Structure 1
C-alpha cells in the first residue's frame, strides 16, 4: 500500500487511484494515521485533478463503510433529502416533519455550516437541550416513534466524512464536485435509505453558481447513488436570492416554526419545500404522482400534523416540548436589531447572495476555523428576493448583531449585496431542472 504522501503525490500529478488505495487512505483518515495536513492536501489534489466515476464510487463506498451502516425495519419507506447548500435554506427543518406526517420515515443526518452556507446542525444547536448527536439507539427510537429525527453525524456514521468535512470547510475545497458527491452519499448510504431526493442549488448563493455545473453535480450524485443501489432524484433549484427571508441559526428555527404553523409562508420557500417533499413521497410509493403528493403535503400543513411531528421530534431529542407555542421563550435573540432602508426605492435587480452568507459568518453565525463557536442569535431577517420592491416601507432587511460595530459591518455588506433598479425585473423559475 502507498504511504499517504505518495498517494497524494499520485493524485496531484493526475494519476488514477485504485479502490484499494482509496480505501487505505480513508481507513488511515478514520484511524488517525492520516494527518489533518495530509487530508487537506488530498482534498486540494482532488479539487484540481478530479476523480473518475470509478474513483468517486470507491471514495463514497470507503467513506460509507468507515463506520456503522444502519438497517431499518419500519412499516414505511425510509427517505431523505439533502441540499448542496445555500443561504436561508431551512427546508430540511420543515420538510422532514411534513414527509413523516405523510407516512415516511426520515432519519436525516445533517451537517454544520460549510463555506458561506448555513448548516442544519448549527441551526438545531440554537434550541436549548436539543441533542443533535444522540447515540444510535436513541436515533433509531426517535425515527421509529416520531417519524423523523434530524441529527448531526455521530461518531458511528461515516466518521471519515465527518473529519474531511470540517477540513474542507476551511481549506478552499468545498466546491469540489467529487468531494461533495462522496460526502453527501456516504452519509446517506450509511443511513440505510430506501430513497433520496437531492436539492442542488444554482445561482449567486450556491457552490455551483453556473447552471451547467449544478446539473453536472446533480448527474454525479444520481449516477453514483443509483450505482450503489439507492433510488435517487435530483432537482436543480434557484439560489440567486436567499431562499428564505431569514439567514442565521436561531433566526431560521423561528422562521421554520412560522412556516409550519402558517404564520408566514413565503412563495419561494413553500414551492421548493413542497416540490422536494413531493418527490420523496413518490419515490417512497406514498403517493401515485407529484400532483397527489403536493395535495397531501399541503393538507398536512393545514391540519397541523406537520407542526405536531416537528414539536414531538424536538421534545424527543431533548428540546422544550412547547417550543412551537412559545419560541421566544427559548430561542436566543440579539442585543442589536437594526432595520436597513435602501437609499432609493425600486426593485431588486440582483443579489450577491454568497456575500450575505459570508456576512452571517462575519457576525459570528458561522466558522472561519473548525473549532470556532457559533453565535446562534445573529443574522438577517426580512431579506428581499430578486424582483421584490424595496423602499422606506420595504427594507433591505433587518440585522441581528451582538454589538453596534458588527451591525455596521453587516449593514455595509448588505447594501453592497443588493442592486436596485427603477423598473421591474424578471425572476428565475424556482426549479430549474429535474434529473433522475
Structure 2
C-alpha cells in the first residue's frame, strides 16, 4: 500500500477498506506518513466525505493508536457525557456530581478551551488546589471510590486523533462531519464508558451553524456508538445565546455551585435535568426519564449533589470550602455593570460575540498553551425574552485591566440587542437523536 494511491483514491470518491484505514492511522501515528500527505488526505475527506463504515473504522483505528481505559473493575454502568462546545456551557460541572450523587459512576476526561468556547479543565483550575492532571490509575481509583472523576485528557489515549486534530486545525479541514465524529467518539470509546450521552450544539455560537449539519453529526456519532456496543443518545441544543448566565472560568464555577444550591440559570438547570435523566436511564438507575428527573431534583433539593461536588473537589486536592464561600475563587480587581435606563427586554445575546468579548478580557485563548485569566469574564442579567428592570444590570463585566473593561462594555453595548416589548424565550432542546 502507498499513501499516494490512497490520497488519489479518496480524491476521486473511492471508499476505504478497514485495512487501508488502519494502514493510514498507524503510518501517521508512527511518523512514516508525513504531515503533508495526511493534510492532503484530510482535504480529500473534507470534499468527498466518508460513509458510516469508513467513519466507524477510522474511529476504531484511532482508539487502537493508544491505550484503552478499562473501567470494568468499577461496579455499575459507567456513563460519559460530551458537549461539542459552546459559550457559558457549564453543564459538566453541574451534571457530573448530580448524576454521580444518584449512583451512576461518571468518568469524564475533558479538555481546555480554545477561541470563544470555554474548557472544563480551565474552569476546574479556578478551584484552589484542585488537581486536573491524574494518572489513569488515580482516575480509575477516584471513580471507584467516589463515583466521579474529571481530569484532563491524557497523552496515552488516542494519540492519532491528537496529531490529526492539530493538522486539521491549520489546514481548514476541521468542519468535516466524519472527521469531527471520529475525533469525538474515539476519545469517548477509549475512555472506557459503557454508555454515552452527547450534547450537539447548534447555532451562531456553536461549531455546527445549522440544524441539518448538527442532526447529521448527531446521527453519525450515535451510529458509531451503537456499532461498537456503546448505548449512545444525542441531544441537539440551541447555542444562539449562551447557555448559562456566566461566561468566564471562576464565574462559571460559581454559577455551577449556585445551580447545585438550586439557584442560577434555569436553562442550565433544565439541560442538566434532560441530559442527566438520560444518563440515569442508561446507567440503570431510572426506568424512564421522568423517574430520572425526579431523582435528580431530589438530589438538588437535598443538597446531595452539592455534597458530591465537594467530595469530588476534596478527592482531587481542591479547597472544598468553595461550595459555601465563592470568594475563595479567583476574584477580578474591577467590576462594572451596564445598567438599564428603563424597563427593557433582552432581544439578542449573540453567543459567539459574547464569548469573544470574554476571551479578549483574558478568559480564553486564541492559541493552545496561552495563559488565561481565571477571574475575568461576564455575567448576563438574563436570557433572551427576560425583562430587565430600570437600574438593574443588563450585563456585568469582571476585569483585571481597566482599559479592557471599557472596551468590553463598548462591544457589549454594540452587540446585545434590547427591546421595549416582550419577546418569547428561545427554545433550548431542539431534537433527540437515538
Aligned position for 1:58: 57
User: Any conservation in 2 of the 1:341–1:391 contact (CA below 8 Å)?
Assistant: no
Cα distance per residue 1:231-277 (max 9 Å; x no partner): 01111112221110001111111111111123x23211111111100
Aligned position for 2:129: 129
Per the TM alignment, residue 16 of structure 1 is displaced from its structure 2 partner at its CA by: 3.6
Cα distance per residue 1:82-134 (max 9 Å; x no partner): 11111100001110111111111110111222442111122122223322221
Per the TM alignment, residue 135 of structure 1 is displaced from its structure 2 partner at its CA by: 0.5
Aligned position for 2:214: 214
User: Any conservation in 1 of the 2:87–2:351 contact (CA below 8 Å)?
Assistant: yes
Structure 2 length as normaliser, TM-score?
0.92
For 1:370 and 1:47, the matched residues in 2 are separated by 24
Aligned position for 2:79: 79
**Residues 32-431 of structure 1: pairs in structure 2 closer than 5 A:** 32-33=31-32, 42-71=41-70, 72-168=72-168, 172-262=172-262, 264-329=263-328, 331-341=329-339, 345-390=343-388, 392-431=390-429
Cα distance per residue 1:254-304 (max 9 Å; x no partner): 111111123x23211111111100001111211011111101001111111
RMSD, matched Cα: 2.3
User: Any conservation in 2 of the 1:123–1:252 contact (CA below 8 Å)?
Assistant: yes
User: Any conservation in 2 of the 1:114–1:169 contact (CA below 8 Å)?
Assistant: no
For 1:167 and 1:397, the matched residues in 2 are separated by 38
For 1:422 and 1:177, the matched residues in 2 are separated by 41
Per the TM alignment, residue 10 of structure 1 is displaced from its structure 2 partner at its CA by: 5.2
For 2:302 and 2:150, the matched residues in 1 are separated by 22
For 1:351 and 1:282, the matched residues in 2 are separated by 34
For 2:121 and 2:40, the matched residues in 1 are separated by 26
Per the TM alignment, residue 7 of structure 1 is displaced from its structure 2 partner at its CA by: 4.9
Cα distance per residue 1:177-197 (max 9 Å; x no partner): 222211211111112211111
User: Any conservation in 2 of the 1:340–1:397 contact (CA below 8 Å)?
Assistant: yes
Structure 1 length as normaliser, TM-score?
0.92
Cα distance per residue 1:367-394 (max 9 Å; x no partner): 2222322221221112532112235433
Cα distance per residue 1:336-388 (max 9 Å; x no partner): 22212357752222222111112222222222222322221221112532112
Q: What 5-or-longer segments of structure 2 have no aligned partner?
A: none
Q: Which moved more, 1:318-327 or 1:26-35?
A: 26-35
Cα distance per residue 1:62-88 (max 9 Å; x no partner): 121121112222221100111111110
Per the TM alignment, residue 142 of structure 1 is displaced from its structure 2 partner at its CA by: 0.5
| Gap change, CA 1:402 and 1:217, over 3 Å in 2 | same
User: Any conservation in 2 of the 1:89–1:244 contact (CA below 8 Å)?
Assistant: yes
User: Any conservation in 2 of the 1:153–1:162 contact (CA below 8 Å)?
Assistant: no
Q: Which moved more, 1:150-159 or 1:390-399?
A: 390-399
For 1:9 and 1:383, the matched residues in 2 are separated by 54
| Gap change, CA 1:381 and 1:12, over 3 Å in 2 | farther
For 1:29 and 1:68, the matched residues in 2 are separated by 17
Cα distance per residue 1:132-186 (max 9 Å; x no partner): 2211110000011111111121122222223444555565544332222112111
| Gap change, CA 1:40 and 1:372, over 3 Å in 2 | farther
Per the TM alignment, residue 418 of structure 1 is displaced from its structure 2 partner at its CA by: 1.5
For 1:322 and 1:36, the matched residues in 2 are separated by 48
Per the TM alignment, residue 429 of structure 1 is displaced from its structure 2 partner at its CA by: 2.5
User: Any conservation in 1 of the 2:113–2:365 contact (CA below 8 Å)?
Assistant: yes
